[in-house]
Structures are given as C-alpha cells and as structure tokens.
Amino acid sequence: MPTVPDPQVTPLRAPTIKDVAERAGVGFKTVSRVLNDEPNVRPETRDKVLDAVAALGYRRNSIASSIRRRDQRTSSIGLIVDDLANPFFGSLTRVVQEYAQARDHLVLIGSSDGSPERESELVGEFGARRVDGLIIVPNGDDQSYLEPERARGVPVVFVDRPGARIEADSVVSENADGVAAAVRHLAAAGHTRIAYLGDYETIYTFTERLRGFRTAMAEIGGADPRHIRTGLHTSAAAHEAVLDIFGAAPRPTALIASNNRITVGAVHALQHLGLRDRTAFIAFDDVELADLLRPALTVIAQDTTAIGTEAARSLFERLRDPAAPYRGARVPVRLVPRSSGEITPPESSL
C-alpha cells in the first residue's frame, strides 16, 4: 500500500526569498534588495526577480522581517475599545483604522467589555505581537500594567477616558461642558425642574457628565436630589427610573439622558406615560435616526471623527517624537437642537 503524505506532517510552506532567488537565478540578498527598493540592482536583474515573485505567489513574511529589523517596528498598532457593537466605538475604530491604514499600519482590535482584567490581558497579547503603539479606552483606575510597554518605549494614547497610574497622552470629550450646555439650553426656555439619568458613577465619563449637570443646575437654584438617578446601566433600569421620577410630585418638566442606552429606556417610559410631547428631552450621544423621531431628538453629539483622528494623530506623532511633553486633548461636544429639547414647560409649572 502506497504511503499517502499526511498534510499535517508536511505542511504547505509559503515560498521564501530563497525560493524566489533560486527561481530567478540570483542570490537571496538581491531579492531582498528588490523587495525593499534598495539601490544597486540592475533593472534587468530586478525584472527577473519580480517575475519569480509573481510566478511563485510570494508574499513577504513581515513577521520575520520585523524581528531582524533595526527599529524593531512591526507597522501595527493595537486598539482596545469597550464594545465594538456600540456605534460610538464602531465609528471611533473606523477613524483610527483609516488613519493607520493611510500610514501603512495595521490595526489589531480587542474589546474589553468594561473589564480591567481583559483589558490588561489584551495589552499582553498586543505586547507579545510587538505592536508599535496602543490606543486604549481604559477601564478601572489602574493602567500600571502598561509598565513593560512604557519601558520598551511603546507609546499609549488613552481615549474617551484618561488612564490612571501611568503617564500618557489622552483624548476625551468635554463631557461636563456638554451636559452643562444642555441644562442652560433648557433653563433658557424656562425649565427649572430638570431630571438627570446617569450610568455608573465609577466611569469617568459619567462622573464628568454628572458634574456638568450639577454645576449648571447650581446656577438656577440647584438640582432636586429626587430628580437625579445614577447607576442606570440598562435601558430597563432607565425605564424604571423615569416611571419613578415622573410618578411623583413635583414632576420634572425636562429630562437629560446621559447615554444612548438610557435614552432608549427613557423615551419608551415617557411614551408610556403619554408625556413624550410635553417633556423636554435632551440625550447625550447622537443616534442614527434621531431626526426621524417625533419630536426629533435634541442631542449632545460627540465628535467621534475628531476624537478618533486626534487619538491616532497623537500616537503617530509620539512615534516620531517620543520626547514631546504629554498632552491631554479635550474635544468639544455639540448641542444639536432638533425639537425634543425645545419643548417649553407647561404654564401650570411656572
């Protein structure tokens, strides 16, 4: 019985520069020269090499190349976000990837799902792949696990929230300003009883947004503690909170939701209560069909393009100049009036 070669034992091998060299009838260093556009190769020889490359379907092994290369660069960066399915992080990823691609860098992606452990594990994986830099949406309050990267000179940029216990560049939105602007927008229309729905207070962005709320409310006599709910991490929780707040007196005339999960629950609840057309509503984060709602949704929109671009720009700049001072960029948010935020308080409440 003839022996059949087991594909597991003799695995398919990719052609190497040596294979190319042999086929082209040159030394393998010459192939390397051609592939790296180095000088001192006769056009004639060059063509022979290129022909062999095409014939063999050769693809450079850039992992082998980066191990030997002087600068140890891999032309890749790592990006860690909370959840890719969240449109905010989706478009952030999009922008970063585009920026990197334009500079011939590849992007390794990971989702932390809010877990500091997973975040640190991913950094380990990326570090093992020797990424040239990292862009991270940090969780928890300790990013000191990045020490090996810092020591190796791998730059890190924190985005959406600042990192802790390690020096690095960061890019965040003007969260507090945004909510404060929303409050002032409502106050200008005559609202004083403004409710606020927040997510976990442990997360930087929500701490900041709540701070903006309190600051601006202080200007019109302070917020009613009964109208502030935090720790709402699902739309169901937000739904409950709205039923609760609006079921008791004094009923607020306006409502601010601090993210899109909360927005969904809150609008549903207002609808359920028949208050959707009578309660002013402003949401943090823009959503796809906001202007098709009735009333169309007034939002505080983050500039995801600017955030992503700035993060990527910071990273590549530091790759060029590791000695520059660290920068903490703050990206403005924008209040987009569409209708829901321009509903005036009922006469009776004045």
Partner DNA sequence: TTGTATGCGTTATCAC
Partner DNA sequence: GTGATAACGCATACAA
Instruction: Return residues touching DNA (CB under 7 A).
Output: 13-14, 16-18, 26-30, 32-33, 35-36, 39-42, 44-45, 60-61, 64-65, 67-70
Should residue 63 be labelled a site residue for a copy of itself when binding is judged by CB under 8 A?
yes
Give me 133's structure tokens. Answer: 């830099």
The H helix count followed by the E strand count for the chain is 12, 12
Range 291-310, binding a copy of itself (CB under 8 A): 291-294
Q: Judging by beta carbons within 10 Å of its beta carbon (0-12, 13-18, 19+), is residue 321 exposed, middle or buried?
A: exposed
Using the rule CB under 8 A, which residue among 52, 107, 159, 186 binds a copy of itself? 107
Should residue 287 be labelled a site residue for a copy of itself when binding is judged by CB under 8 A?
yes
Give me 323's structure tokens. Answer: 């000695």
The strand pair at 254-257 and 194-197 is best described as: parallel
35 binds, among a copy of itself, DNA, none (CB under 5 to 8 A by kind): DNA
Pick from 105, 30, 21, 27: which is nearest to 58 by CA? 21
41 binds, among DNA, a copy of itself, none (CB under 5 to 8 A by kind): DNA
Contact 264, 235 (CB under 8 A): yes
Range 238-267, binding a copy of itself (CB under 8 A): 260, 264, 267
How far, in Å, CA of 122 to CA of 143, rounded?
12
For the CB of residue 41, give the shortest distance to a copy of itself in the complex, in Å.
21
**Residue 14 is which amino acid?**
A
3-state secondary structure of 109: strand
Should residue 290 be labelled a site residue for a copy of itself when binding is judged by CB under 8 A?
yes
Can you spell out the DSSP letters for 2-26? PPPPPTTTS------HHHHHHHHTS
For the CB of residue 213, give the shortest distance to a copy of itself in the complex, in Å.
23
For the CB of residue 28, give the shortest distance to DNA in the complex, in Å.
6
Should residue 14 be labelled a site residue for a copy of itself when binding is judged by CB under 8 A?
yes
Return residues touching a copy of itself (CB under 8 A). 7, 11-14, 57-64, 66-67, 70-72, 74, 76, 83-87, 89-91, 93-94, 97-98, 101, 106-111, 124-130, 147-148, 151-153, 260, 264, 267-268, 271, 287-294, 322-323
